[in-house]
């Protein structure tokens, strides 16, 4: 079984938990998700199955949209409401205008600090393992893009907002940076991934509704793909996974031979690299 499925991850599940359940449903271990969601978070989790696991890097690179809530007045060790409160201060006075000003002037690109409670590895060890052992370590930084921040609701001590961001963006870190600019304490209260690439939560499936007969998506459903028919010589090159030099526009191409899909290639500057065989 090969394809893509869009899961609406329930709260309390890790992304790995979702994969483990799908392993049993589809009777295969060849399954991978394309962007970790914390247990507290819900929403869109794009999962690749079978040969489509070769697409994990391509799909992980897609931009993402979130709806998040910030609980003001407290700071936790994990950066979300599930952690231990390490600081508390309810003496703040902000309004919608203050929040909108921060959102409007927030940098479109910046180096974001990775949360200490994350699965990023340093010297072969995950950051959350250092944190649990109370070992201080310099946290890595990543360049991320913040495409938009939209205020949805503000009620005294709770900010609800929508964020469109690049891959690798941690919403917990984004919230800390927003709160720093507002000069308030805050922690992530809730998080929903509402979109990844073109896939919204409206097309996602609940885990309880999935069985081994569930229809999976193909490359043409999840990426902008053009078709290209191979001649005998090109077919031999593609069958061996060779790079190709063809005058083609940048993008993904599904190569066919005798009306059968053979392989997916990604072209940049007339050079194509193999992404996956069908």
Burial class for 67, CB neighbours closer than 10 Å (0-12, 13-18, 19+): buried
Residues 6+ apart with CB under 8 A from 222: 4, 46, 55, 59, 197, 198, 199
Distances 187 to 60, 207, 226, 263, 276 between C-alpha atoms, Å = 26, 28, 44, 45, 41
Summarised one tens digit per residue, pLDDT across range 222-239 is 888 999 999 999 999 999
Residues 114, 24 within the same domain: no
Burial class for 51, CB neighbours closer than 10 Å (0-12, 13-18, 19+): middle
Residues 266, 239 within the same domain: yes
Give how many domains the chain has, as a whole number: 3
151 strand-pairing partners: 161
Residues 73, 186 within the same domain: yes
CATH code of the domain in which 259 resides: 2.30.130.10
Residues 242, 216 within the same domain: no
Residues 6+ apart with CB under 8 A from 230: 238, 255, 256, 257, 262
Residues 69, 131 within the same domain: yes
Coil, strand or helix at 53: helix
- pTM score: 0.90
What pLDDT sits at residue 116? 84
Domain that holds residue 12: 3-62+198-220
Residues 231, 120 within the same domain: no
Residues 6+ apart with CB under 8 A from 95: 154
Residues 36, 144 within the same domain: no
What pLDDT sits at residue 52? 94
What pLDDT sits at residue 51? 92
Distances 27 to 16, 19, 47, 112, 207 between C-alpha atoms, Å = 16, 11, 15, 39, 15
Residues 69, 182 within the same domain: yes
Instruction: Compute the distance between CA of residue 276 and CA of residue 52 in angstroms, rounded to an integer.
Output: 7
Instruction: Compute the distance between CA of residue 224 and CA of residue 57 in angstroms, rounded to an integer.
Output: 16
Residues 179, 74 within the same domain: yes
Q: Which residues of the chain have pLDDT under 50?
A: none
What pLDDT sits at residue 22? 97
What pLDDT sits at residue 142? 93
Q: Which of 38, 77, 98, 250 is catalytic?
A: 38
Residues 31, 144 within the same domain: no
Instruction: Compute the distance between CA of residue 139 and CA of residue 131 in angstroms, rounded to an integer.
Output: 11
Judge whether 77 counts as a catalytic residue.
Answer: no
Cα 41 from chain centre:
12
Summarised one tens digit per residue, pLDDT across range 158-188 is 999 999 999 999 999 999 999 999 999 999 9
Start-to-end CA span in the chain (Å)? 11
Residues 84, 173 within the same domain: yes
Residues 73, 123 within the same domain: yes
CATH code of the domain in which 103 resides: 3.30.2350.10
């Amino acid at each position: 079984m090969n394809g893509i499925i869009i899961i609406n991850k329930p709260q309390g599940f890790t992304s790995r938990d979702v994969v483990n359940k799908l392993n049993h449903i589809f009777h295969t271990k060849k399954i991978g998700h394309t962007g970790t969601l914390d247990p507290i978070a819900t929403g869109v989790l794009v999962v690749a199955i079978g040969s489509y696991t070769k697409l994990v890097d391509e799909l992980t690179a897609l931009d993402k949209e979130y709806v998040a809530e910030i609980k003001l007045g407290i700071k936790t060790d994990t950066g979300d409401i599930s952690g231990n409160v390490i600081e508390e201060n309810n003496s703040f006075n902000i309004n919608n205008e203050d929040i909108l000003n921060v959102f409007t002037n927030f940098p479109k690109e910046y180096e974001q600090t990775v949360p200490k409670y994350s699965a990023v590895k340093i010297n072969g060890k995950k950051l959350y393992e250092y944190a649990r052992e109370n070992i201080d370590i310099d946290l890595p930084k990543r360049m991320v893009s913040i495409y938009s921040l939209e205020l949805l609701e503000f009620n005294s001590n709770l900010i609800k907002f929508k964020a469109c961001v690049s891959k690798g963006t941690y919403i917990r870190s984004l919230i800390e940076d927003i709160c720093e600019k507002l000069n308030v304490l805050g922690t992530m209260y809730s998080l929903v991934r509402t979109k990844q690439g073109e896939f919204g939560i409206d097309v996602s499936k609940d885990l309880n509704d999935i069985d081994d007969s569930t229809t999976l998506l193909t490359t043409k459903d999840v990426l902008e793909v053009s078709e290209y028919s191979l001649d005998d010589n090109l077919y031999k090159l593609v069958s061996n996974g060779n790079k190709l030099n063809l005058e083609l526009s940048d993008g993904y191409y599904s190569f066919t031979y005798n009306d059968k899909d053979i392989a997916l290639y990604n072209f940049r500057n007339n050079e194509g690299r193999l992404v996956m065989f069908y």
